[in-house]
């Protein structure tokens, strides 16, 4: 009787078949992949809806017809001699085709060397900036030219996560509506360069007394460096400007 009880209480444990284990893992992996694809698709739909219906969509599309304030110039009777200039913002618009290559190349090299390749946000720069901050403790900006344009035109300059997310959203909208050359032209006409000058043409005339197209390589490099660090402005630090 004791033997029968022992036999009843004993269960035979069978090894799990390797084939069955692999099949189970394949099913779970397939299910997880489908769920991930569904989640990604839903995120894309929501993002597309947001981009097409957010208030920034209308504001960004209106940039094509917006004309910023410019300098009011009073001439003498000869039509050439300048008697006075009046402006809240000294801005002299310039077309991108009139900007010398050396000025454009200097700006992109300093501010956003992947400008022609990204979609308004540059994940490579973001990862690089985070890595540098972790490894060296130094803070490095990762904003693209498009993001800077978005911030200058539509957003406050407060350092918050909400403002940063909005900046990304506006940058994506700008890239949807405009070509790279149009974005570059807007940036070069809107950016503040110190000493009351807005835009590269006004900056060139303010600092060097000449048109943007007449700048030499060193002057072009100095002008392009001012948006990244106002300390390079000749009116603020002549020593740094000469470096």
Q: Looking at the DSSP assignment, which residues form a beta bridge with residue 84?
A: 74
Q: What's the chain's Rg over C-alpha atoms? A: 29
The pLDDT of residue 232 is 66
Can you list the alpha helix ranges (DSSP code H) found in 93-216?
101-111, 123-136, 145-154, 161-177, 180-190, 200-208
Residues 173-220: tens digit of each pLDDT: 999 999 999 999 999 999 999 888 999 999 999 999 999 999 999 999
Instruction: Compute the average pLDDT of residues 141-154.
Output: 89
3 state SS for 12-58:
CCCCCCHHHHHHHHHHHHHHHHHHHHHHHHHHHHHHHHHHHHCHHHH
Nearest-angstrom CA–CA distance, 237 and 153? 27
Nearest residue to 142 via CA among 152, 153, 131? 131
pLDDT in tens, 13-40: 445 455 556 666 766 766 676 666 656 5
Beta bridge partners of 72: 86
Query: Residue 243's pLDDT is what?
Result: 54
Q: Are 72 and 189 in contact (CB under 8 A)?
A: no
- Contacts of residue 206, Cβ cutoff 8 Å, sequence gap at least 6: 90, 193, 195, 196, 197
What CA–CA distance (Å, rounded) separates 148 from 168?
Answer: 10
Give residue 179's region: left, alpha or beta (phi > 0; psi -120 to 50).
beta
pTM of the model: 0.69
């Amino acid at each position: 009787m004791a033997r029968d009880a022992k036999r009843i209480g004993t269960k035979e444990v069978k090894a799990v078949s390797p084939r069955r284990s692999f099949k189970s893992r394949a099913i779970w992996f397939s299910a997880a992949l489908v769920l991930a694809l569904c989640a990604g698709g839903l995120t894309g739909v929501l993002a597309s809806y947001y981009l097409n219906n957010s208030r920034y969509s209308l504001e960004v599309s209106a940039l094509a017809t917006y004309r910023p304030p410019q300098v009011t110039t009073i001439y003498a009777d000869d039509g050439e001699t300048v008697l006075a200039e009046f402006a809240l913002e000294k801005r002299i618009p310039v077309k991108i085709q009139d900007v010398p290559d050396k000025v454009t190349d200097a700006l992109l090299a300093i501010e956003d060397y992947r400008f022609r390749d990204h979609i308004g946000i540059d994940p490579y720069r973001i990862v690089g900036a985070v890595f540098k901050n972790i490894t060296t403790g130094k803070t490095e900006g990762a904003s693209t030219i498009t993001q800077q344009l978005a911030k200058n035109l539509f957003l406050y300059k407060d350092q918050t996560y909400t403002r940063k997310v909005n900046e990304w959203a506006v940058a994506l909208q700008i890239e949807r509506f405009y070509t790279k050359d149009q974005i570059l032209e807007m940036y070069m006409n809107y950016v503040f360069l110190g000493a009351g000058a807005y835009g590269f043409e006004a900056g060139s005339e303010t600092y060097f007394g000449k048109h943007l197209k007449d700048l030499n390589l060193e002057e072009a490099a100095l002008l392009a460096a001012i948006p990244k660090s106002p300390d390079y402005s000749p009116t603020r630090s002549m020593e740094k400007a000469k470096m």
